[in-house]
Amino acid sequence: MGSRGWNRCLALELLLLSLSLLAISIQGRLVHMTVVSGSNVTLNISESLPENYKQLTWFYTFDQKIVEWDSGKSKYFESKFKGRVRLDPQSGALYISKVQKEDNSIYVMRVLKKDGYEQEWKIKLQVLDPVPKPVIKIEKREDVDDNCYLKLSCVIPGESVNYTWYGELPKEIQNSVLETTLKPHKHSRCYTCQVSNSVSSKNGTFCFSPPCTAARSFGVEWIASWLVVTVPIILGLLLI
């Protein structure tokens, strides 16, 4: 077979492969949910349950039973979910309170219908912690013409997050490190690093006054300077 024949074979195989992948994803009916840790979650399917089903079971990772409804009664199994879950047999919804990262899993609801067939739904639950407040590390250098070279690093320890820098920049920067040069200027310049995952986002801001002085960051420092200012005023009021 010439190389054209091989190519045709390869193309056919790829086509078959993508068709079979398509079939899996349709059969799977896997619903994704992403929530923030500590929240209460309702695992629910978007269609109504088969009428007069005989038995309904919720599984954690396919083999660990959480709860089973049978003959009008719900039986909760010994698992880390005991005391945190509740089943609504009407809709099949499973309420889980205070989800933690350890609850990340595929949850399976299996229903035994009155005709003896089983039907299955799967929900993939991803629990994420809110992102911590970013810390901004500063490296700067000034030259004789008052140009200010800045390298700002936005740091989050060991997390999977997205970074965006805002400020007086040609465009937003999607990177944890911002490098820029301040030409001699009159007013101060502020840069905000936003860290985010799909459940939360936090900002850290640093400002520079001319030519190259780290002026302030927003947050803790601001509260501290407010206290310093108000204490003498309160003392003054007391003395009157």
Ligand X SMILES: *[C@@H]1O[C@H](CO)[C@@H](O)[C@H](O)[C@H]1NC(C)=O
Residues that bind ligand X (CB under 6 A): 39-40, 42, 44, 46, 48, 88, 91, 93, 97, 160-162, 166, 192, 194, 197-198, 201, 203
Q: Which is nearer to ligand X, 130 or 211 (CB)?
A: 130
Sequence letter at residue 104:
N
- Three-state DSSP state, 103: helix
Longest dimension (CA), the chain: 102
- In the complex, the smallest distance separating the C-beta of residue 60 from ligand X, rounded to whole angstroms, is 19
- In the complex, the smallest distance separating the C-beta of residue 63 from ligand X, rounded to whole angstroms, is 25
- In the complex, the smallest distance separating the C-beta of residue 44 from ligand X, rounded to whole angstroms, is 4
Say if residues 44 and 56 touch (Cβ distance below 8 Å): no
Instruction: Please state, in angstroms and rounded to a whole number, the distance separating the CA atoms of residues 31 and 107.
Output: 10
Say if residues 221 and 136 touch (Cβ distance below 8 Å): no
Single out the residue of 127, 128, 202 nearest to residue 163, CA to CA: 202
Instruction: Please state, in angstroms and rounded to a whole number, the distance separating the CA atoms of residues 108 and 64.
Output: 10
Q: Which is nearer to ligand X, 113 or 147 (CB)?
A: 113
Q: Which is nearer to ligand X, 153 or 201 (CB)?
A: 201
Q: Which is nearer to ligand X, 32 or 141 (CB)?
A: 32
- In the complex, the smallest distance separating the C-beta of residue 10 from ligand X, rounded to whole angstroms, is 30
Q: Which is nearer to ligand X, 147 or 162 (CB)?
A: 162
Single out the residue of 141, 142, 148, 140 nearest to residue 183, CA to CA: 148
- In the complex, the smallest distance separating the C-beta of residue 238 from ligand X, rounded to whole angstroms, is 36
- In the complex, the smallest distance separating the C-beta of residue 6 from ligand X, rounded to whole angstroms, is 36
Beta-bridge partners for 70? 55, 73
Q: Which is nearer to ligand X, 64 or 197 (CB)?
A: 197
Instruction: Please state, in angstroms and rounded to a whole number, the distance separating the CA atoms of residues 160 and 126.
Output: 13
Query: Angle at CA 27, nearest 5°, toward 114 and 56?
Result: 30
